Amino acid sequence: MSTQANGNVGIVIVSHSPDVAKGTAEMVRQMVGEEVPLAFCGGNPDGGLGTSVEAILAAIDRAWSEAGVAILVDLGGAETNSEMAIEMQPEARAGRIVVCNAPIVEGAVIAATEASGGASLEAVRRTAEELSPA
């Protein structure tokens, strides 16, 4: 569990590639420092391309904030597994986790920047999703 005391929305990055997930998280950290709870996961349990519901659950725990968690994903399978991870959460927690329909790198940076200013989960999601074409 995260011990973040600032109450900012947490960010989770889920990619099919461990390198993309880690690199995106590094960009977020460089932009916003330690202002937001942040976690990432990528790859399947065998180290190849893919995603894992278990890894996503663990990432949600690491980035958990009472303000909520915004998840950024790269491809459909990451979104599907993230939705499954949300469904496995206790009801009180599940309602405070959203998957953003946004580009993973740009969306994560923008979402984290918004979160670092104390924005609500809905504002974080809305700002990230403004990056997507209509």
Q: How many CB atoms lie within 10 A of CB 46?
A: 8
Can you tell me the distance from the alpha carbon of 98 to that of 115, in angstroms, rounded to the nearest whole number?
13
Q: How many CB atoms lie within 10 A of CB 133?
A: 4
Q: What tokens were used for 48? A: 């190849």
**Residues labelled as active-site residues:** 16
The residues with which 42 forms a beta bridge, in sequence order, are 15
